[in-house]
Structures are given as C-alpha cells and as structure tokens.
Amino acid sequence: MVSWLIYGMVYTGSILMVYNIYGFIRFVRYVRKRGNWDDQKLMLNIPVALLCMFLMGYLGVGLFGKPDLLVAGILFGGSIFVFVMYLLLSRITEQVIKNEQLEAELMAAEESNQIKNSFLATISHEMRTPLNVILGLDELALNHSGNPPETREQLTKIKYSGQYLLGFINNVLDVQNMEKGLLEVRKKPFSLMEVLGELNGITGELARAKGIEWHFHVADGMPDAMDGDGQMLEQILMNLLDNAVKFTETGGRVDFTAETLALDTCRCMLQFTVRDTGIGMTRDFIEKAFEPLAREDGSSTTRYKGTGLGLTVTRDKVKLLGGEIRVTSEKGKGSEFTVIVSMDLRNVETEEEQKTSLENCRILIVEDIPENAEIAADLLELEGAESEHAENGLIALEMYSESEPGYYDAILMDLRMPVMDGLESVRRIRALDRPDAKTIPIIALTANAFDSDVKQSLEAGMNEHLVKPIDADLLYTTLKKWVRRTETAK
C-alpha cells in the first residue's frame, strides 16, 4: 500500500510537472508577444529548461530508483510549488498588463479631453471674434441718434439675435467648465432692470417670429441696483425662456413674471416664473429633464432644435447662486419653471459719490484685429475717452515703456496675438522699473472665455478679465472702477 502511494506521488508529480512545462511555454510565448524580448530569450527559456531537467529526474527516480515516502513527498511537493508559482506569476503578469492597459486608456482619455478642450477653446475664440464685430458695430449704430425707426428696429433685432447666439456658445463652454468644477460665481454690480429688459427684447423677438403670444410682467417694487453675478442670472432665465419658446407651437403663449418675495436693507429674495402652453412633460420625465441631452421621445430631437444642455446648465447655475428651481408640467398642456434666488442690494448713493468719468482718459488698446480695435476705440470715444492702438503685446510693451509715467490711464489687453501674447506682455509691463508699472489698470478684453483663461489673466497681473463680444456698459463700469481706484491710490 505504501509502495503504491509513493509511486503514485512520483508519477502524479511528473504529470503535474509536464503541465507546468506546458504552462511556462505558453507563458513565455505570451510575454514575448507583449514586448521585445529578443535580447533576453535565454532568460525566458531557462525556467523551461530547468523544469524539463526536473521532469527527467522525476521519471528517472520513478523508473530506475527506489524512492521512499520522504523523497516522493519532496518530488510531489516540488511540482505543487512550481504549479503555484506559475499561477501566481501568471496572475501578476495579467494584472500588470491590465494596469498598463488602464493607464494607456486613461492617457488616451486625457489626451482626448485635452484635444476637446483645445477644440472648444478654438471654436469659442473663432466664433466670438466675428460676433464681437457684429455686436460691436451694432451697438455703435444704435447709438446714432439719426437712425429712422425702421433701421433702429432692424439693428435691435440684430442685437438680440447676436446675444442669443452668444448664449448658445456660453452654454457649451459652461458645461465644459462644470465638468472640471471651474465654473464660479463672479460678484459684480449690475442693473436687474437692464437684465430683464434684455430678456424681454430677445424673447419677444423669438416669440413674435414664431407667432407666439408673449407676456412679460415685472411686479411693482422690484429693486434694480444689485451686487452679484448678473450674467449668470441672465443666462439662467434666458435658457428657460428659450426652451419655453422652442417647445411652444405657433399660436401658443409664454409668460414671464418677476417679483420680490423678501426685501431688507442689504439683501432681497427674487422669484422668476416662466410659464408656457407648449408640449409639456410627463411626470416620469420631469425627474430626468435636467440631465444632459435629455429628450422625452426621439421625435423631439429632430423637431425641436438645440444642444440639449440648457436645463443642465440652468440647474447647476441656480445651485451655484444658492437658489432653487422648481418645475411643474403636464403632457400636452405646458410647463412652469420657477427660480428663486437671493441677491445683495447695491448702495447706489455711495456709488454716485465715487462715480468716475472716462472723460479725457487715455486708454491703450492692445488688439491684433483692426476691426475689434476700432470698435473698442469708438465705444470709448462715446464716453469721452481717448485711445491708442498697439497691434500686439510687444508693441504695447514698447509704447508703454517709452511713455511718461501716468500717460496711460488703463490698458485693454487681448490674449491671443502674434509676436507676443497678452499674458507675456502684462508680465513684462508689471516687471518694469517705473512708478506706475504695478498700479496701471490692465484689463483683459479677449475671446478666451474659459475660467482657466480668467485664472491665467489674473495670475499674469491683470486686474480683470472681460470676454468678447464687448459689453459696452460692463466695459465702462470696469474701467471707471479701476481708474477710480488708481486715482484714489495716488
């Protein structure tokens, strides 16, 4: 009985060793396919050769030797040990290769993301540049008092259509910024009535063009002078109004209401309601309505044009403002969206006391596109300011270096320019050894609209970052603020 056990262990160990040899041969082939091992063939083949020698030893002992129980146990245990090591080595190799694949996929995803970011940044810049010319020239044309009513109406329609296109571009970029967690609230003074007026004008044009009845109501007692992110608030409401018009058929109705829920000396709670008689949503779909690219049925994708990002952007921006958004809807009868946000009130009396004029201010415009520079110069001229033009960052550096301290009251700096970009130009200006180099207001005026672009501008030494197309009122307000601060510092 013991003899059968001994020889059983020896021959079972031999069979297992044959499997180990076969496994190691497969393993060597697998490893050689994964990389270039031509210079290390010997190292890969050594384990196979040694195992073959062990197998010959096993067979020699079994056929010609007289093994005892100890020798048989050692031989059988050796086969088990080699088998376990083979399995362990295979698992480790597979895991290493899997990790390499995951790392490669991650690198590919990061590269793809960088390409996407670069593409979006380029598209944004290229679309904003001509849009700046369109809206800039339109703004200048609207300021001519001699325009006949018909021409003025046409120019107003151009303005609202351009702003609508700008909102579309902003939505795409905002989704990208939200994915990175870069979207931030920018607190600035703004006029609530101007924001609501823009919404009324844009949506009114869209509604009339589609044959929709448009009702706009602002409750009595609404505050005007606010301190917060007016642009974000306008984008939130514009997205809701855009959807209301889009999903309402000809002959339908869209209502907008703005009212104050609470008001004290420094803060107010505002409620905005957008109601339509459009296609509406089912109860089940309402929960999914704020998801990116959400559509209740396939036909709406082709019938109702759009990015499918409006509600996603709206929800996230409402959260950033610390507000809430509610929706009620019934399929076939329409929808109602309610936005509630709190805003700080602005001390108008203090601002009037500090109000600064741009009259006789000299502004250096750094811009490589002549049309953009001309528009900026004309807008400044409307406020009584003088301007000079530099075609790139290097020329701006030279003009500023050769001027007397205090000659320029502010610099409007583009970012993307040949020869020397705006960021490098600002760094060199701030590094100059002259008394006003650190204090002169330098404001980015660029089509680079990502939050990362804003961060780069501020880190380079700019005081503020304005995005094209030029918002004339925001440009004036920003220049006055920084010129006033500079004058106060003197």
CA–CA separation, 257 vs 272, rounded Å? 6
Q: What is the CATH number of domain 149-350?
A: 3.30.565.10
Average pLDDT over residues 380-392: 93
- Indicate the angle between helix axes 2-34 and 41-64, nearest 10 degrees: 170
Average pLDDT for 218-222: 91
The whole-chain average pLDDT of the chain stands at 81
**pTM reported for the whole predicted model:** 0.58
Q: Would you list the domain boundaries of the chain?
A: 2-108, 149-350, 356-489
Centroid of chain to Cα 246: 25
**Using an 8 Å Cβ cutoff, are 281 and 329 in contact?**
yes
Model pLDDT for residues 95-132, shown as the tens digit of each residue: 777 887 788 777 877 777 667 667 766 766 777 778 87
Question: How far does Cα 332 stand from its chain's mean position?
Answer: 35
Q: Is the pLDDT of residue 472 over 80?
A: yes
Domain 356-489 CATH (choose: 3.40.50.2300, 3.20.20.70, 3.30.530.20, 3.90.1300.10): 3.40.50.2300
The larger pLDDT score, comparing residue 463 to residue 346, is at: 463
Gyration radius from the chain CA atoms: 36
With a CB cutoff of 8 Å and minimum separation 6, the contacts of 142 are: 152, 155, 156, 159
Give the pLDDT of residue 178.
66
Identify the pLDDT of residue 444: 94
The confidence score (pLDDT) of residue 299 equals: 47
Taking the C-alpha atoms of residue 394 and residue 380, their distance in angstroms, rounded to an integer, is 23
Q: What is the pLDDT of residues 51-84, one digit of tens each?
A: 777 777 777 776 777 776 676 777 777 778 777 7
Of residues 255 and 303, the one with the higher pLDDT is: 255
The pLDDT-based confidence of 453 (bands split at 50, 70, 90) is confident
Please give the pLDDT value at position 41. Answer: 63
- Above 50 in pLDDT, residue 214? yes
